[in-house]
Structure 1
Amino acid sequence: MQGPIERLQLFVGLGCRRGCPASTLNDLLRQTFQAHALPLDALAGLASIALKHDEPGLHALARQLGVPLLFFPLEQLAPFEPRLSHRSAASFKHTGCHGVAESAALALAEHHAAGSAKLLLPRTLSADASLAVAWAPPFGG
């Protein structure tokens, strides 16, 4: 018999406009977690598309929160398309991915977990960024 999950781990995918500051990303993350009563200490990592690897705001946010930041190439995000809650034509035009935040959250959760990831929160939008939260069963869970 399995015991309860000892520690909830949440994985956040982020998309953003070029030059989006860490403060904007941090506000979106904190407001989203607060609005859905998610514990910030359950945040296990951040992810985005490889095209954003040079975005200072993403790196600064990860440092501020003390969590790892991973970037996934389009080829690793594309298989998640059927599981997205929304397909953005604008995102596809700019990145080749129909949903950066949701795809990155799912990819990160499956990278760190034992099973199929699920979107806990579909994309949340601000003027300059998008965020999604995923969860997956932990290894050994």
Structure 2
Amino acid sequence: MIRIICLTEVGLQLARRLQHLLSDTESEVCFKPVPFIDSVQAYFKQRDTLIFISATGIVMRTLASVIKDKYKDPAVLVLDENGQFVIPLLSGHEGGANELARQVSNLLENQLVITTANRYLKPVYVVGMGCERHCPEPVLHGLLDECLAKAGLTINDISAITSIDIKSDEVGLMALANHLNKPYLTFDTGQLGLMEERLSTKSDYIFKTVGVYGVAESAALYQAQQMTNNGSELLLNKHKNKQATCSIARSYMQ
């Protein structure tokens, strides 16, 4: 659940606009919640993603007593009420605030302000893909191109294309990787299951079918982490067409 918290009428207009743009995601506009501190802290404790349209100082004073660490706290973003800037304030990498902030920035066409230190390190990008059996290579290629454009990357930025081991012989994925001159790597459910807590969504249907809650995101996250021996994060949450899914993960070389 994304809670969009606003305190002014101008902020309320922006909140409603953002909620409309986030139509594919469950969200709720919270206008002047009462009592304010108790309500906001309750949202935080239940790990709702919080997007504040307010001053940063208000956010920090409100959450100061309940902030624990970047591995447990939910993502927190701050927008100015004119919608000119978006700042991922808490849990930028581990909690997904940086990725959500990029999405919000793209939706509102505003300025993204990221202050986390990892932006100065060398990034590694990995594509994860899943698909129906015998999905044609052009369908996969089209989805990949769409995802690269959304992430602001080119194929030259990508280190590998990955999937689950039951797709190790998937002709379309193998052809795509070969065409793009990229390694094609697959992983078993034990390896991919280690990424479960980092997934943007969890599909019970996929779990019953293949044994993990998400193929594309899990595979990309796992390989990115393997390449750097550091944590990994989703740069682009799972996108899909009628036959395939695609996600892009990132990690950083020390």
TM-score (norm 2): 0.51
- How many pairs are equivalent? 136
Cα distance in 1 for partners of 2:173, 2:204 equals 23
Where relative contact order (Cα < 8 A, 6+ residues apart) is larger, the structure is 1
Code of the residue aligned with 2:243 in structure 1: it is D
The question of 1:80 aligning with 2:195 is answered yes
Measure how far apart 1:115 and its partner are.
Answer: 0.8
Deviations 1:29-78 (A, max 9, x none): 00111133212210110110001111101100100110101110111001
Letter in 2 for 1:122: N
**Local SS of the residue matching 1:137:** strand
The one of 160, 182, 203 aligned to 1:67? 182
Structure 1: 4+ residue segments shifted above 3 A: none
Q: Which has the larger radius of gyration?
A: 2
Say whether the 8 Å CA contact 2:147–2:236 is kept in structure 1. Answer: no
Please state how far the C-alpha of 1:111 moved relative to its aligned partner. 1.5
- Offset at residue 82 of structure 1 (A): 1.0
Deviation of the 1:79 alpha carbon: 1.2
Q: Does 1:89 align with 2:204?
A: yes
Q: Which amino acid letter does the alignment assign opposite residue 230 of structure 2?
A: G
SS in 1 for 2:135: coil
**Which residue identity is paired with 2:139?**
T
Distance in 1 of aligned mates of 2:165 and 2:213: 14
1:26 aligns with 2:141: yes
Q: Does 1:107 pair with 2:217?
A: no
Return the offset for 1:91: 1.0
State the AA in 1 paired with 2:248.
V
1:35 aligns with 2:35: no
Within 2, Cα distance between the matches of 1:9 and 1:64? 21
What is the aligned partner in structure 1 of residue 163 from structure 2? 48
Looking at structure 2, the residues matched to 74 and 87 of structure 1 have their Cα atoms a distance apart, in angstroms, of 14
Q: Partner of 2:127 in structure 1?
A: 12
**Structure 1, residues 121-140: CA drift from partner, whole Å, max 9, x if none?**
110111110111001112xx
SS in 1 for 2:126: strand
What TM-score, normalized by structure 1, do the two folds share?
0.90
In the aligned structure 1, how far is the partner of 2:244 from the partner of 2:138?
Answer: 11
Tell me by how many angstroms 1:83 deviates. 0.9
Answer whether contact 1:117 1:135 (CA < 8 A) is retained: yes
Q: Are the equivalent residues in 2 in contact too, given 1:46–1:108 (CA < 8 A)? A: no
The equivalent residue for 1:127 is 242
SS in structure 2 at match of 1:115: coil
1: CA distance, partners of 2:146 / 2:158: 14
Give the gaps of 5 or more residues in structure 1: none
